[in-house]
Amino acid sequence: MTGGVIDLGELRHGSDVEPLPRPSVARGRPLRCALVLVLLLVGLAASGPSRTREVLTLPADPGADALVSDDLFVLVEPLGRTGQRRITATRLPGGEPAWQVPLPAEGRYWGVAQQGETLLVTGHEVGPDSQGTLTMALDRRTGAYRWQQPGNPAALPDGNILMWSQISDDQPGTLRGVDPCCGTVRWQVPISPGGEFVFRDGEHGVDRLVVARRSGPTEVRDATSGVVLARADLGTPAGGSDLSVQLVDGLLLTIGGPSPTTTAYGLDDLRQRWRVPVDGAMYASDCGVVICVQTRSGGMRALDAATGRELWGDDRWGWVWPYAGRLVATTVSSAGPGAEDLVVLDPPTGRVLAELGRWELAGFAQGGPLIGVRRLSSGGLLIAELDVSAGRARSLDVLRDASGDCQALPGRLLCRRRDSAYGLWPLPR
């Protein structure tokens, strides 16, 4: 892959607008028009050079998988004439080539992460001997192959990696602590078919694991060592009665069962804190000062974390997540792929604080900027910063050459271009 190509584009703000009405025919003399034109040209010349932006173009073929990790743009090239795919890394933000290596396993790759100097590329392996989800470890500086294992990765606070494989009613799984340098397994916990596990992702990586088996006690384990911290029989067979185990902050929640209830246990000791009926409860998530429970009908309920008391509920909202001390919600009527209607909610009351409009969200890291994307009928994308605190969408730019598949990076936006390449645009502030 050659180095990045630098484009110069015109900096624009705001969305596409309809052309202004045609002015009436001038009634003045030609000399007056000439004078106005001269004054306009003088004013433009005095204003200095127009502002431009540098757009880094990253060539990519159709069907390539593009992934970003910190200051690396990683491209998994599609199968070419050689019969083997390659991984190419480019340094950001300048676009300097970093390395290029052959791909040791065929698959569709969808995730990239780093742990120290190890780059972890995850995807779904294809072929007659497929192991399902597969993670490959490469040297981040050189791209040198280190190891590969089945399963998904997550960072651990001690610098090691948590690896886990999928579990089904007839397929067992494992949790493993792995050394990133060479793939050595530090500890492992087998999970029998029909079991379930969840983990809590702390500030420095996954710090707690919960393992619920089809029969037997539920265990809370330290993610760094795999050691059991608490064990109790919660009477919740993981493989039966549509019951799931979930973690929300310092609570373990069981949802479902023959009589639909949500039960909370302390994560440190597995003692029951509260138990409440929540009709149709399906999924719980941390919403800051409240617990958000999604229902099968598509709406949500907000529970007090200390007592389980329902604070408010609303069937208008689909997915809800905390951001900047508030909640951002999608409307049920707009739920699905593509653009969705977004609103800002007050967590304790559920009151609508602002309507942000209809947007596709660019991918973003936790704590990163919330960038909305809107496709224009005339082509290109309107880009806006969704300011949750102020409750408004602020137009940033119009990207004429962009087609979608955007990811927000610090100060920049990566999007697929209409020519299948990727562009890295600076975000104006």
Structure tokens at 214: 């089809």
DSSP H helices, 260-320, are: none
Compute CA distances 109 → 123, 137, 416, whole Å.
4, 13, 17
Report the alpha-carbon distance of residue 342 to residue 331 in Å, rounded: 7
Task: Please give, one letter per residue, the 3-state secondary structure of 86-141.
Answer: EEEEEECCCCEEEEEEECCCCEEEEEEEEECCEEEEEEEECCCCCCCEEEEEEECC
Q: According to the model, what pLDDT value does residue 211 have?
A: 93
C-alpha–C-alpha distance, residues 202 and 24, integer Å: 65
What was the pLDDT predicted at 82? 53
Compute the distance between CA of residue 363 and CA of residue 306 in angstroms, rounded to an integer: 32
Check: CB of residue 239 under 8 Å from CB of residue 225: no
The pLDDT assigned to 334 comes to: 64
Residue 15: predicted pLDDT: 38
The per-residue pLDDT for 167 is: 77
Give the pLDDT score at 38: 37
Q: pLDDT 10s per residue in the chain (429 long)? A: 333 332 323 333 333 333 323 333 333 444 333 333 333 333 333 333 434 567 899 999 888 888 888 889 999 887 665 556 789 999 998 899 999 998 877 778 888 888 989 999 998 877 766 678 999 999 999 999 999 999 999 999 999 999 998 777 777 889 999 999 999 999 999 988 888 899 999 888 999 999 988 778 999 999 999 999 999 988 655 444 567 889 998 999 998 776 778 999 999 999 999 999 887 888 899 998 999 998 887 789 999 999 999 999 999 998 899 999 999 999 987 655 678 999 999 999 999 999 999 999 998 777 678 999 999 998 999 999 999 999 999 999 999 999 999 999 888 899 999 999 999 999 887
Indicate the pTM of the whole model.
0.79
The whole-angstrom separation of Cα 31 and Cα 65 is 61
State both tokens at 202: 């702390």
Q: What are phi and psi of 41, to 5 degrees?
A: -65, -40
Any idea where the domains of the chain sit in the sequence? 362-429
